Amino acid sequence: MRFRPFAHFTLGQPLRDECEICFSDSTRGSAGLCKQGQETGRQKSYRELSNTFRRTIEGDRMATEAPFADQEYLDRYQRAQALMERDGLDALVVSEKNNYWYFSGLISYQLDHIQRPQICILPKTGKPLLLVYGNDKAKAKALPWVGEVRAYTDVPFPQEMIAGCLKEMSLGESKLGFELGDDQRLGFPVNYLSRLTEALPKAQIKDGTAALTEMRVIKSPQEIEFMRKACDISMKAYDRCLPQLKPGMTRREVADRLYISMIEEGAHPRHPGFLMLNSSTRYDDRRYNKGDRMIADFGACYEGYYGDITRMTIFGEPTDEHKRDHQTTCDVIQLCFESMQPGTPIAEVSRVANRELTKRGYQAVDSPKRIGHGIGMSRAEPPSLNEVETELYRSGMVLALEPKVRSEKSAVHLEEDLLITDKGPEFLTTGCRDLSIVQ
């Protein structure tokens, strides 16, 4: 059994009959390979690739243990408690999967299961309480930075346990911050919140977005190292993938190769992004032919942290328009990069991009559309790099910069990741390079 990566990747889902080496739809022989696959081969056989997935999913720390030292979580609690004091909150009630993982350190496949919520209650004083599905109870109890663990057995989720845990922590009449604002979401159905207010009529349900965003927008040194690794994997994977491409391949085939290349370079299996054929992002069996432009917007995940890069590749000889669009995008990225100094307004970067784009005869980016965003445990996080952002650049921010170059005939974008330091911005990816060509 092979697995469909990219947009159609579902762990354990079998593919249609395809050659297990060249991934074509040709009729398979007794060895499971089409004629082309038997002739060309690949660096990794089906069995080796399956083992790569298995090692990554079952054997690494991301599936079983927290990726950080104990002190990282204790520092997060201390920062969060200071922000709760600032915002007038008595506790944060966290359930969205990345927020939950950020505070608990407990990765669980239940986090994608809407019927089995995982909840972290972080009080302004003391250690957090984790409300977990029963299968995760032992792992949760082993976490030294967690105070109490309460578990439930199966569906339907016992909603009364949320109120019960809050009462147990003397928070039944307190100001509780939930994930209610922009760029946030609850990890359980919203009607649970309505029933909680009925069970705790004296509690005040507040928006905890300000504290949660502040926590995650500034990365710790270890988070930054994980993101450096994710960016490095992404770049190496693209370099590994390019020699395997040729005109006539479908988007599915290209997606397979790019995703597998990321796994081979050390990425953890997550949805990595999308491919564009000229201006279309639909996944189908359309083929890249000579003259087509491929935009790959993708990024590897490492220890739960993403890189996010975009590369442009031309099948066949590039036209003058291809070269001009690519060079313009590189130039705009460099100008924007130089403007992203700590303490300066984030909103200015869109103005820098638009001045250069219009000077060269391209369309400006309409406000409030953005030309980049934060990255971290998600491939797109606050802040937004647009003209309405009120934040300043601060040391510890990791950002993806992706200005779009648009004309009446085409739309192109490249994307680079960078870190804001006390001394200025630093590229985590290679910066713009030569236009890639597949002959």
pLDDT over 70 (residue 280): no
Mean pLDDT of 66-82: 95
Cα–Cα distance measured from residue 404 to residue 365, given in angstroms and rounded to the nearest whole number: 7
Mean pLDDT confidence for 244-270: 92
Residue 56 has pLDDT above 50, yes or no: no
Position 434 scores a pLDDT of: 86
Q: Which residues of 404-419 are buried (b: 16+ CB within 10 A; e: fewer)?
A: bbbbeeebbbbbbbbb
372: left (phi over 0), alpha (psi -120 to 50) or beta: left
Of 36-40, 133-137, 348-352, the one with minimum mean pLDDT is 36-40
Q: Any idea where the domains of the chain sit in the sequence?
A: 6-59, 70-216, 221-438
Q: Which of 158, 8, 189, 16 is nearest to 96 (CA)?
A: 189
Would you say the C-alpha torsion 407, 411, 414, 418 has a positive or negative sign? positive
Residue 75: pLDDT over 50 = yes
Label residue 281 by pLDDT band (50, 70, 90): low
Is residue 37 over pLDDT 50?
Answer: no
Please state, as a whole number, how many other Cβ atoms lie within 10 Å of the Cβ of residue 58.
Answer: 9
The structure tokens 């890249």 sit at 288
Confidence of residue 307 (pLDDT cuts 50, 70, 90): very high
What is the SS3 assignment for 206? strand
Which of these, 309, 148, 146, lies nearest to 237 by C-alpha position? 309
Higher per-residue pLDDT: 380 or 368: 380
Instruction: With beta carbons less than 8 A apart as the criterion, state whether 155 and 161 touch.
Output: no
- pLDDT reported for residue 24: 41
If pLDDT is split at 50, 70 and 90, which confidence band does 410 have? confident
User: Which residues lie across from 311 on neighbouring strands?
Assistant: 296
d(CA 351, CA 368): 11
**What DSSP string describes 4-63?**
--GGG--TTPPPSS--TTT---SPP-TTS--HHHHHH--SS-HHHHHHHHHIIIIISHHH
Per-residue model confidence (pLDDT) at position 176? 99
Q: Are 316 and 429 in contact (CB under 8 A)?
A: no
Q: From CA 260, how far away is CA 256, in angstroms rounded?
A: 6
Instruction: State the Cα–Cα distance between residues 37 and 238, nearest whole angstrom.
Output: 22
Task: Give pLDDT, residue 6.
Answer: 34
Topology (CATH) of 221-438: Creatine Amidinohydrolase (3.90.230)
Whether the ω angle into residue 368 lies within 30 degrees of 0, i.e. cis, is yes
- Give the type of residue at 18: E
Return the SS3 of 209: helix
Residue 138 has pLDDT above 60, yes or no: yes
Q: What is d(CA 213, CA 118) in angstroms, rounded to the nearest whole number?
A: 20
Is residue 86 pLDDT above 90, yes or no? yes
- Whether residue 309 is predicted with pLDDT greater than 80 in this model: the reply is yes
* Total count of residues recorded for the chain: 439
**Please, are residues 143 and 105 in contact by the beta-carbon 8 Å criterion?**
yes
Q: Which CATH number fits domain 70-216: 3.30.70.3270, 3.40.350.10, 3.90.1150.10, 3.50.30.50?
A: 3.40.350.10
Nearest in space to 24 (alpha carbons), one of 51, 2, 55: 2
Query: How far, in Å, CA of 334 to CA of 354, rounded?
Result: 13
Mutual orientation of helices 190-199 and 160-168 as an angle, nearest 10°? Answer: 50
Phi, psi of 264 (to 5 degrees): -65, -30
CA distance 257 to 241: 6
The average pLDDT across 123-137 equals: 97
Global pTM value: 0.85
Categorize the per-residue pLDDT at 352 as very low, low, confident or very high, splitting at 50, 70 and 90.
very high
